[in-house]
Chains A and B, each alone.
Chain A
């Protein structure tokens, strides 16, 4: 290597050596500095993206006055009216065209229905809660947890420090959703604890985590729900509430949507500890039936306070006081129109 300056060496390398290009050494420090500079750029970009996305979430959330206007709409009344209209028997000759239209609009697969003859459904409500053929949804026995319904996954993951997410980035509290823990507490009494503490009191085994999974049922989906695991249902809590729409767009818009709406929370235990399944009502689908709970009445006329609830203890009605044992895939309840 000729003894020349760095610049000349580069110039000479390209000019003089012509076709026989040679490697030009670059000091290690320069290379390292360049990598650092590149990395710094990436970090800055990433932080900027994160900042923008959290601002985006805040921007697209409904303000309190927008929620108040939405609350002022008579959605519960509309929902009950919708239920009554759909419970009116459809004349025999109109059943096929009406239900066929519904089937086309919401992409229902009639070949999966236990009864495929549309004329046998007396009204749209009966058609809406139609049963499926036993072979239509084979049970996956290899998994610990199976889907309790047909639906779209809105969100899933760990529950952290007592906070849940209805969609990515839109949070609400576990405590607000499930209501206070019942032990040593009278019905309706609200004893607030920190969100973190609330979560830690739910888990029963050291080293376990709390997980959540939210499934949205679209209008054309099968609207019955089944047991996602082998578990024992010990307790039911019914929250009368609002009946906002729960479609994914609204879930991205209203924070705490599922804590505002009418819902039925079933709580109990499975092999790994705490287990709960909650059916959340919506405007069109405001009533919830639980097959083994005749006392439960949802979407009823009358005033309610936000957050109030009615409890029912299933351990008191079973012979061994354990609660109601259900197996993976067992039918539990259904949503109804109105």
Chain B
């Protein structure tokens, strides 16, 4: 199963991981 997020955000939005990384529920994944 997969979760896909699609969202609008200002240009300076930054993801805080790399492809292949494992993430855990409620961990920060992006910020402005």
**Residue contact A140 to B27, C-beta cutoff 8 Å:** yes
Q: Is B28 touching A146 in the complex (CB atoms < 8 A)?
A: yes
Instruction: Report which of A152, A212, A229 forms a contact with B20, defined as CB distance below 8 A.
Output: A152
Q: Could you tell me if B10 and A147 are in contact, using CB atoms closer than 8 angstroms?
A: no
- Bound-complex Cα distance A190 to B2 (A): 25
B25 and A147 within 8 A (CB): yes
CA distance A210 to B10 in the complex (A): 9
Given the interface pairs A153-B20, A278-B4, the reply to whether A147 lies near B29 with Cβ below 8 Å is: yes
Residues from chain B with a CB closer than 8 A to the CB of A273 are: 7-9
For B29, the chain A residues whose CB sits under 8 A away are: 143, 145-147, 213, 228
Which chain B residues numbered 1 to 32 have a C-beta less than 8 Å away from chain A?
1-11, 13, 15-32
> Which listed residue (A139, A149, A159, A203) contacts B3, Cβ 8 A?
A149
B26 touches A145 (CB 8 A): no
Asked whether, in the complex, the Cβ of B19 is within 8 Å of the Cβ of A153, the reply is yes
Contact yes or no, A228 B5, CB < 8 A? yes
Cβ contact within 8 Å between A210 and B3: no
Partner of B11, one of A142, A156, A209: A209
A335 contacts chain B at the CB level, 8 A cutoff: yes
CB <8 Å contact, B21 and A280: no
Residues of the B chain whose Cβ atoms lie less than 8 Å from the Cβ of A203? 8
**Taking beta carbons and an 8 Å cutoff, which residues of A are in contact with B?**
132, 137-140, 142-157, 159, 164, 167-168, 174, 177-178, 202-205, 207-217, 222-223, 225-226, 228-229, 246, 258, 270, 272-282, 285, 329, 335
The 7 nearest A-B residue pairs measured at CB: A143-B28, A273-B8, A140-B28, A145-B30, A280-B2, A274-B8, A137-B25
